[in-house]
């Protein structure tokens, strides 16, 4: 199947209100262009340097999503153009994003990454920590806007476990979005688990291998 066909079949499955982030990490710019020519604009990368190299060669109306762990000293490279940072996992990172956003005279949209995996969860914040940051950040960091949550399920064949983890994230999302009109994005679901994520209320899925083929 071609990238075009893969995108078409995904777009047929996904409800209209769900944003598809095409995860292009490790894939060449030609593959991104192929998706772009089908009208696709949202692309996800997990490494700053790779995003940098691709963004400079590709059309400027692409919306770049940083989905992987982000180091503070790398924020400055993507701050001029990044569309959404999915992986904010500390106040110190948010502080640096605010600083670089200010320098670029913009407001950068961010998601808080929540630790939902019952196993192998290296990154992400605890719910309580996220709630605290959410209630305090607006005055401190006026150049960032937290627009929702991101989570990654455990890498497992156990669908019930994945569902349980997504349900936890959705519950946290619903609680935090109360009285926050800008809090609208729930980023959960990848190639293997996006159907469960959709059933559990995701409105942004990050899909790589189903579109571009498996990675080495």
> Which one, of 210, 211, 189, 207, lies nearest residue 198 by Cα?
189
Q: Which is nearer to ligand PLP, 18 or 210 (CB)?
A: 210
Under 8 Å CB-to-CB from 209, ≥6 apart: which residues?
191, 215
- To the nearest whole angstrom, how small is the minimum distance from the Cβ of residue 138 to ligand PLP? 26
Looking at the chain, how many residues does it have? 216
Question: Which position among 46, 98, 162, 203 is part of the footprint of ligand PLP (CB under 6 A)?
Answer: 46
Query: 187: exposed, middle or buried (C-beta count within 10 Å: 0-12, 13-18, 19+)?
Result: buried
Among 22, 97, 176, 190, binds ligand PLP (CB under 6 A): 190
Counting contacts by CB under 6 A, is residue 207 touching ligand PLP?
yes
Integer Cα distance of 94 and 87 in angstroms: 10
Task: Find the binder of ligand PLP among 10, 23, 110, 130 (CB under 6 A).
Answer: 23
Binding mask 70-99 for ligand PLP (x = CB under 6 A): ------------------------------
Q: Which CB, 7 or 207, lies closer to ligand PLP? A: 207
180 binding ligand PLP? (CB under 6 A): no
Tell me if 25 contacts ligand PLP by CB under 6 A.
yes
The interface region with ligand PLP, picked from 102-110, 156-164, 167-175, 207-215 by CB under 6 A, is 207-215
Helix (H, G, I), strand (E, B) or coil at 112: strand
Q: Of residues 33, 38, 68, 201, which one binds ligand PLP by CB under 6 A?
A: 68
Name the region of 158 (left: φ>0; alpha: ψ -120 to 50; beta: rest).
beta
Distance between CA atoms of residues 155 and 87, nearest Å: 18
| Paired residues of 110 in beta bridges | 85, 146
Segment near ligand PLP (CB under 6 A); pick from 74-82, 115-123, 170-178, 185-193: 185-193
Q: Who's near 118: CB < 8 A, 6+ residues apart?
A: 154, 161, 164, 165
Residues 186, 16: Cα–Cα separation, whole Å: 15
Residue number, 20 or 176, with CB nearest to ligand PLP: 20
- The smaller minimum CB distance to ligand PLP, of residues 67 and 117, is found at 67
Q: Does 170 bind ligand PLP (CB under 6 A)?
A: no
* CA dist., res. 115 & res. 122, Å (int): 8
Please give the residue ranges that form the binding site for ligand PLP (CB under 6 A): 23, 25, 46, 67-68, 152, 190-192, 206-210
């Amino acid at each position: 199947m071609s990238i075009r066909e893969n995108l078409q079949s995904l777009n047929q499955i996904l409800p209209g209100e769900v944003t598809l982030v095409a995860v292009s990490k490790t894939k060449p710019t030609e593959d991104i262009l192929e998706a772009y020519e089908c009208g696709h604009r949202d692309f996800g990368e997990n490494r700053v340097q790779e995003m940098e190299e691709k963004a400079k060669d590709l059309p400027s109306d692409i919306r770049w999503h940083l989905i992987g762990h982000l180091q503070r000293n790398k924020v400055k490279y993507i701050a001029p153009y990044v569309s959404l940072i999915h992986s904010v996992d500390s106040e110190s990172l948010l502080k640096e994003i605010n600083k670089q956003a200010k320098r670029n005279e913009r407001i950068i949209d961010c998601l808080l990454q929540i630790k939902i995996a019952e196993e192998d969860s290296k990154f992400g914040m605890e719910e309580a920590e996220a709630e605290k940051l959410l209630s305090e950040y607006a005055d401190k960091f006026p150049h960032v806007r937290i627009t929702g949550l991101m989570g990654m399920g455990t890498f497992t064949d156990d669908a019930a476990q994945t569902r349980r983890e997504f349900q936890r994230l959705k519950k946290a999302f619903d609680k935090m979005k109360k009285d926050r009109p800008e809090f609208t994005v729930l980023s959960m679901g990848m190639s293997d688990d996006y159907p469960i994520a959709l059933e559990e209320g995701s409105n942004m899925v990050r899909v790589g291998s189903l579109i571009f083929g498996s990675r080495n």
